[in-house]
């Protein structure tokens, strides 16, 4: 019963209707002071002690040492406050797919409407985990449902993070599930099939007209490890097709995210001028150099690789286990090369009941300091999303997206999985 009250309160929090004794809702228009034991501001390398963040009208008014008199104070003195976290690679329309069968089942047996209902739950989960912004990089066969979820969040109908939507990803004929069915059986596809440059431009125009903030492409498939240790692949698009997609997207002031896990997919994407490389399990030194020079982001999604590896190896794809050490080597070379790295998890590729903040521990295991990993999920992610003027750091004038974790995340980054306070745009969605 207590859970039900909390849930109802949570649901009403958006509208500001929650009753006082169980309140988790603070109206965005009221002035409130957050008394933080520590602050990680999203930019630096260390914590500031005993900081008071004053929030008014949904924005950060001041970051100082004392609370103005007469305002509501939220006591976070045993916690570390941070900017709202950003996951730049999610799939809210997916519920985890270790095997091809898991994926096929969702597309064949769940209607887009049912999947959208599940997505609203995932959006709430993302927010409760502390992710106040997400870039959702395609609906996997659920059409433009991500745009509707985003609309429902923005209209205050359901709780959820700020969303950038990629709608339907693009891939070429024969490259993406569902596959392996009899040729005479019509099955749904997880992507929009695009063949030829005219088709590519048309698909970009179509998706943007239906609300796409980003264009997502699958640039490679079918991975194997060569004798020299390089992860090889089959590139999907021709260079002409990929260039047409990027050119059309950029002409319409949208960015392109490219799923590229291996040698040729990454190389072609970088040459075509995409804005982010997703996964990037193997990237050559030459391409890393180009990425650093052109400011192309790397969104490594480490945790999901570990998560799916064993399951996929068990179904006859041992390459997924080998990819983990290749990925680590690439990640370390990318850091060394000065490539911009943004936090992204592929949540939905694994079950949303698992906290995507596990990615912080994976990034630290692969060589980042906790501060670097958290910057990847705050100020760097904001740069990738183009929201750095309003979000990504805790400073006066920015939107009040603030989270808090118990203890010191720079000493133990796994506390990022224990977000206990969530504020988005000055509205409190979760508190200790
Ligand atoms: Zn993905």
* Stretch(es) of the chain classified as CATH 3.20.20.140: 85-356
Neighbours of 259 (CB within 10 A): 28
Ligand 1 centroid vs 248 CA: distance in angstroms? 22
* Separation between Cα atoms, residue 122 and residue 127, nearest integer Å: 9
* Stretch(es) of the chain classified as CATH 2.30.40.10: 2-84+394-430
Ligand 1 centroid vs 372 CA: distance in angstroms? 22
Q: Give the class (CATH, top level) of 85-356.
A: alpha beta
- 431 token code pair: 């508190």
* Separation between Cα atoms, residue 280 and residue 305, nearest integer Å: 11
Ligand 1 centroid vs 246 CA: distance in angstroms? 19
Ligand 1 centroid vs 73 CA: distance in angstroms? 40
Residue 225: is it exposed, middle or buried by C-beta count within 10 angstroms (0-12/13-18/19+)? middle
Q: Does domain 2-84+394-430 have CATH number 3.30.930.10?
A: no
One pLDDT digit (tens) per residue for the chain, 432 residues: 333 333 333 333 433 333 333 334 445 558 999 999 999 999 999 999 999 999 999 999 999 999 999 999 999 999 999 999 999 999 999 998 777 788 899 899 999 999 999 999 999 999 999 999 999 999 999 999 999 999 999 999 999 999 999 999 999 999 999 999 999 999 999 999 999 999 999 999 999 999 999 999 999 999 999 999 999 999 999 999 999 999 999 999 999 999 999 999 999 999 999 999 999 999 999 999 999 999 999 999 999 999 888 788 888 888 889 999 999 999 999 999 999 999 999 999 999 999 999 999 999 999 999 999 999 999 999 999 999 999 999 999 999 999 999 999 999 999 999 999 999 999 999 998
Predicted pLDDT of residue 23: 37
Predicted pLDDT of residue 387: 98
Ligand 1 centroid vs 278 CA: distance in angstroms? 8
Ligand 1 centroid vs 329 CA: distance in angstroms? 21
Predicted pLDDT of residue 165: 98
Contacting residues for 293 by C-beta, under 8 A, at least 6 apart: none
Ligand 1 centroid vs 350 CA: distance in angstroms? 10
Ligand 1 centroid vs 62 CA: distance in angstroms? 37
Q: What is the pTM of this model?
A: 0.93
* Separation between Cα atoms, residue 24 and residue 420, nearest integer Å: 12
* Separation between Cα atoms, residue 279 and residue 269, nearest integer Å: 13
Predicted pLDDT of residue 27: 53
Q: What is the 3-state secondary structure (H, E, C) of 302-340?
A: HHHHHHHHHHHHHCCCCHHHHHHHHHHHHHHHHHHHCCC
Ligand 1 centroid vs 47 CA: distance in angstroms? 32
Ligand 1 centroid vs 264 CA: distance in angstroms? 18
Q: How many CA atoms lie within 13 A of 234 on its CB side?
A: 8
Ligand 1 centroid vs 349 CA: distance in angstroms? 6
Contact 171, 191 (CB under 8 A): yes
Please give the DSSP secondary-structure letter assigned to residue 416.
Answer: G
Ligand 1 centroid vs 231 CA: distance in angstroms? 19
Predicted pLDDT of residue 13: 41
Predicted pLDDT of residue 10: 39
Ligand 1 centroid vs 304 CA: distance in angstroms? 9
Ligand 1 centroid vs 190 CA: distance in angstroms? 12
Ligand 1 centroid vs 428 CA: distance in angstroms? 29
């Amino acid at each position: 019963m207590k859970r039900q009250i909390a849930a109802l309160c949570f649901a009403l929090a958006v509208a500001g209707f929650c009753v006082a004794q169980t309140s988790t809702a603070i109206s965005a228009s009221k002035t409130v002071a957050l008394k933080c034991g520590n602050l990680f501001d999203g930019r630096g390398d260390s914590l500031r002690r005993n900081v008071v963040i004053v929030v008014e009208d949904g924005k950060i008014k001041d970051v100082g040492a004392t609370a103005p008199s007469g305002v509501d104070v939220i006591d976070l003195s045993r916690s570390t406050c941070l900017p709202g976290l950003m996951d730049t690679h999610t799939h809210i329309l997916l519920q985890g797919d270790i095997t091809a069968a898991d994926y096929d089942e969702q597309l064949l047996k769940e209607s887009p409407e049912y999947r959208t209902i599940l997505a609203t739950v995932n959006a709430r989960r993302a927010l409760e985990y502390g992710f106040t912004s997400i870039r959702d990089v395609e609906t996997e066969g659920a059409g433009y449902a991500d745009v509707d979820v985003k609309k429902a969040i923005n209209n205050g109908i359901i709780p959820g993070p700020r969303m950038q939507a990629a709608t339907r990803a693009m891939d070429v004929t024969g490259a993406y599930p569902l596959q392996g069915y009899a040729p005479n059986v019509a099955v749904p596809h997880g992507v929009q099939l695009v063949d030829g440059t005219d088709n590519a431009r048309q698909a970009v125009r179509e998706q943007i007209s239906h609300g796409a903030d980003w264009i997502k492409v699958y640039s490679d498939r079918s991975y194997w490890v060569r004798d020299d240790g390089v992860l090889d692949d089959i590139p999907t698009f021709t260079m002409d097709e990929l260039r047409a997609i990027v050119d059309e997207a950029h002409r319409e002031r949208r960015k392109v995210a490219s799923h590229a896990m291996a040698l040729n997919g990454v190389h072609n994407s970088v040459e075509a001028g995409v804005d982010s490389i997703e996964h990037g399990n193997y990237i050559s030194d030459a391409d890393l150099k180009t990425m650093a020079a052109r400011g192309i982001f790397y969104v490594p999604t480490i945790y999901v690789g570990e998560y799916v590896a064993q399951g996929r190896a068990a179904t006859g794809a041992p390459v997924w286990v080998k990819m983990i050490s290749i990925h680590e080597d690439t990640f370390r070379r990318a850091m060394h090369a000065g490539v911009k790295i943004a936090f992204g998890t592929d949540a939905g590729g694994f079950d949303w009941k698992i906290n995507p903040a596990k990615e912080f521990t994976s990034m630290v295991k692969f060589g980042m300091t906790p501060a670097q990993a958290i910057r990847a999920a705050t100020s760097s992610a904001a740069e990738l999303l183009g929201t750095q003027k309003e979000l990504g750091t805790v400073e006066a004038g920015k939107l009040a997206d603030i989270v808090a974790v118990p203890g010191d995340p720079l000493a133990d980054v796994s506390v990022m999985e224990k977000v206990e306070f969530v504020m988005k745009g000055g509205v409190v969605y979760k508190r200790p």
